[in-house]
Structure 1
Amino acid sequence: MSSTMNEGMIVCVAVVGHQNNPLYIQSFTKGDDSLKLHHIVHCSLDVVDERANNPKRSGLVTNETFLGLLNPTENYKVYGYLTNTKVKFILVTTDLEVRDVDARVFFGRFHTAYIDAVSNPFHIPGKKITSRKFAERVSTMVKSFGLSSGG
């Protein structure tokens, strides 16, 4: 893997319940900055709530689930997605040139994987997602992020 391959990568994904309880959070960095990434995810929840509660002011279409860029930091870009059940998906990338279409495609796939995971009869609603299959699907999606906008 070349160093240019790492420039546009996802460093963290999270699923946060409607009461801001973390259901799934995974860092994809080699360093030990997962605590910093968890903090970034936590801070972005306020922006998600702000946009969800004031859709007109933030310029969102009322039924839009993709919230777009939430809060760019010096080193990361944070994107958000809100399901119709108020579950929040957060995506943290190192690429400052992520296209909205790539983020939308990722969130669509991530949402499908989430639905499959919580539809498991052994999953307890509102509890952390512990499915290894879900984690593997997410990892595969993260590795292929931005490589193509196609299916």
Structure 2
Amino acid sequence: MIVCVAVIGQQNNPLFLQSFTQEDDDLKLHHIVHCSLDVIDERVNNPKRSGIAVNEAFLGLLYPTESYKVYGYLTNTKVKFILITADPEVRDADARNFFRKFHVAYVDAVSNPFHVPGKKITSTSFSRKLRSIVDNLGSITTV
């Protein structure tokens, strides 16, 4: 089950964060997203130690918490996508598929001539498209 997704800008500024839970976990999810930025920076700055290919956008599992697993994706423009899931076992192929669709929705949103680059994404169309992606892939297939 996908719990939260986030888009983080080049300067580590939050551009979009959406929770898909009924509980009031927003502060906890913001904290998890913020902590994942350190892991992303470490993997990007030390690709040989992390085992990630230099040209690979999918960063894989960033870290697990007691309740969640956090996955990362880095675009060519250094915008970061964060996926937080409550599933104990998520296949990398499913997470990659989610990020591909998420990236397409993001590109559509920022291609809007009224969107100001580097500012928060406030598009309701983007939110609806993201909700649709989560609903279709929401229960990411577990191993």
Q: TM-score range by the shorter chain?
A: over 0.9
- Tell me which residue corresponds to 2:127: 135
Residue 109 of structure 1 and its aligned partner are, at CA, apart by 0.4
Residue 56 of structure 1 and its aligned partner are, at CA, apart by 1.1
Q: Taking structure 2 as the reference length, what is the TM-score of the superposition?
A: 0.95
Mapped pair 1:105 → 2:106: no
Q: Which runs of no fewer than 5 residues in structure 1 stay unpaired?
A: 1-8
Aligned with 1:71: secondary structure?
strand
Residue-by-residue CA offset, 1:1-25 (whole Å, 9 max, x unaligned): xxxxxxxx10000000010000000
| Pair 135,102 (structure 1): closer, same or farther in 2 beyond 3 Å | same
- Tell me which residue corresponds to 2:55: 63
Q: Taking structure 1 as the reference length, what is the TM-score of the superposition?
A: 0.90
1:102·1:146 contact (CA, 8 Å) conserved in 2?
no
Alignment of 1:70-85 (within 5 A): 70-85=62-77
Residue-by-residue CA offset, 1:17-55 (whole Å, 9 max, x unaligned): 010000000011001011101110110110001101111
* Count of aligned residue pairs for this structure pair: 141
2:8·2:16 contact (CA, 8 Å) conserved in 1?
yes
1:65·1:82 contact (CA, 8 Å) conserved in 2?
yes
Residue 147 of structure 1 and its aligned partner are, at CA, apart by 5.7
Alignment of 1:1-151 (within 5 A): 9-145=1-137
Counterpart CA distance in 2 for 1:70 and 1:148 is 17
Residue-by-residue CA offset, 1:75-113 (whole Å, 9 max, x unaligned): 000000000110000000000111100000000000010
Residue 145 of structure 1 and its aligned partner are, at CA, apart by 1.5
1:51·1:58 contact (CA, 8 Å) conserved in 2?
yes
Residue 114 of structure 1 and its aligned partner are, at CA, apart by 0.4
2:4·2:18 contact (CA, 8 Å) conserved in 1?
yes
Counterpart CA distance in 1 for 2:48 and 2:138 is 30
Aligned with 1:122: secondary structure?
coil
Identity of aligned residues (%): 72
Counterpart CA distance in 1 for 2:3 and 2:132 is 13
Letter in 2 for 1:87: V
Q: Which runs of no fewer than 5 residues in structure 2 stay unpaired?
A: none
